[in-house]
Each structure stands twice: as C-alpha cells, then as structure tokens.
Structure 1
Amino acid sequence: MDANKKILILGVGNILLTDEGFGVRAVEYLQANYTWPVRIRLLDGGTQGLMLMPEIQDCDLLVVLDVVLAGEAPGTVYLLKGEDLRKSLSFRDSMHQTDLLDTLITCELAGHKPDALVIGMEPFDCRTMGVELTPQAQARLPEFCRKTMDELARRGISPATEPA
C-alpha cells in the first residue's frame, strides 16, 4: 500500500448494549497496545452515522471494526468487503442514525469514497443493556485485535511499534 495513503480504523457500535460495542472496545485496545504512524488514525465512531462523513472522506482506506450478524457461531471473526458489508451491524438497518453503507454512498456522491472493509465478530449478546462486553467477547478481544493486525499487515499497514 502507498505509504502516503491515509487510513482510518473506525470502531463502531453502541457501548450500552454489551457486545454491540465490540468495535469500539477493539479500537480502544489497539490504541492502548500499539503506537501508530500519523497517517493511521484510530477513532471511536460509536453510533454517529452521517456525522462521520468528514473523517471517512479524509481517508483512502476505511477499516471498520464492528459486530457482524451472519449466522455463524458467536466469536466467529469475519472479513467483509463489497456487498457483504451489510452483514456488519453498522452497515444494515440498526439503531444508528443511518447505516455506514449509506454514509459511504453519500461520501461518494460528495466526491470521495474510500476503499472499505469490515473486520468483525459474531456477538455473544448485543441486546442486553450493559457497558461491559460479555466475558466471552472480552476474552476474545486480544485475539480479534491480533487478527486485525494480521489483516492490516497483509495490506502493508503496521503500527510504528508493537506491544512487548
């Protein structure tokens, strides 16, 4: 990947609904455990929808960390691109203001749509009110983040420093 390309790693989801906040928690983990070059920005996107347009339009590659409802066993990790993006909770009709696929379409209409992919996990529980992940999702967070780092490395993207 071009060393000048801007990359946005966006954690999305509602942190008030247990595992629905998994993407946000994954970004927090990546921020806490790695040092990132200036061209790579990590952001808690929460449930902001269209309000994320300026950040999305300012990147060349959008990597969304989210929960995915695709019918596999809880804890299954997915890599989604193209039409499969709708399997991500944030790319389908959700509690968010608008889904992220609509936001990407709006970005394209406004002049810039980045390449996008979702790295997500099938949740254990995303309906129960609670600010903590389920114990099962919490236990999988480090492994999920390692898989995220592996996928980024395949694309020539790596942090400045890795954890000890």
Structure 2
Amino acid sequence: MPEYLEKETLILGCGNILLADDGFGFAVVQRLNKLKETNSKLDSENVGIIDAGTGASHFILSLIDEESKVKKVIIVDIIDYGLSPGELTKLYPEDLPNIPKYHIDAHDMPLAGMLNDIHDKYGIEIVVIGCQYKHMSAPDICLELSDEVTASVDKAAEMVLEELEK
C-alpha cells in the first residue's frame, strides 16, 4: 500500500503549471508545504500533501479501498463555475456534476463519479476547494497565474487548514 494511503487526510493539488491559472493547485501545495514547518495541522503523520498534477489524482483515488486509512480528501484545483476570476468556493460530492469521460481533470469535474463512489462506499469525506480561473493558456505555454488567482492562493491554503480542523 502506498505511504499516502496510510494518512488520514489527503490534500491533492491538481492542474498543469504550464497552462497559466491551471497551476493554481500546485501553487497552493507549495504554500502548504512551506506552512508545514510552522503549522502542526499539517502534521506529516496524518496529512499527505500531494502535487497530483494533471492525472495523478485519478490514480491516487483509484487505490483507495476499505484497507486505506484515508478519512478525508481535499482537492484543490481551478474550476469554471462562472464566478469572478480568483473567487473561491467549496464543493462537496452532492455539488459535483457526474460527467462520464476518460480524461480526468477537476475543471469539468469528471472526477465526480469517483469522488462520489469513494464517499458512498468508504464514508470518506470529500471537499473540493475550487478557484475560478481567469486564463487557461492551452495550447500555449504560460507559467504565470493571473493576478486574481495568485491573490487567492493564501486564502485557499487557509481554507485547507480550516478543513483540517473539522
């Protein structure tokens, strides 16, 4: 069993750092890793902070079963919910559209089916901290987040810490 399945809480930062605001999940993971030094809520014994990139979340989540110790999964990613750029929201399994498709990413929420299954089968709490993107550069490469999304990184990290208290 992978080490991260021995954790009680998994924080998955999703996205592609090459596509502008899609690097939001990675930026939040970087922020949380810096906070680990001074914040006991991010205790590495109980909390796994993972840069899940563009597809690792599917593989990580597909390994969760009744033997895993995971009780909560927090996914951080950009979303397209028609909000103001940089606006943050929390989504729960019942909020996620169930879109069947093979390519896995949290922008269209095709992970919803898998997240709902994990929640329903194993009683694992699921929270998505989504940030409305302003700019997705695909197919062009852009390594910078928009100002609005950059301004939301610290607040998203705070939202993750709040979830760890629950």
TM-score (norm 1): 0.72
Q: 1:107-128: per-residue Cα shift (whole Å, max 9, x none)?
A: 579x646221101111121235
Equivalent of 1:61, from 37, 51, 72? 72
Once the two structures are superposed, the pairs formed by residues 1-164 of structure 1 within 5 Å of their partners are: 6-35=8-37, 36-37=42-43, 38-48=45-55, 49-53=57-61, 56-57=64-65, 58=68, 59-86=70-97, 96=104, 99-104=110-115, 107=118, 112=122, 114-128=124-138, 129-153=141-165, 155=166
Give the superposition deviation at 1:81.
0.5
Q: 2:111 corresponds to which letter in structure 1?
A: L
In the alignment, structure 2 segments of 5+ residues that lack a partner are 1-5
Contact 2:7 2:48 in 1 (8 A): no
Amino-acid identity (%): 26
Q: Measure, in 2, the Cα distance between the counterparts of 1:81 and 1:31.
A: 24
Q: Hey, what's the Cα distance between the residues in 2 that align with 1:18 and 1:94? A: 23
Which runs of no fewer than 5 residues in structure 1 stay unpaired?
A: 156-164
The total of aligned residue pairs comes to 147
Q: CA RMSD in A?
A: 3.1
Contact 1:13 1:20 in 2 (8 A): yes
Letter in structure 1 aligned against 2:161: M
- Which residue identity is paired with 1:9? I
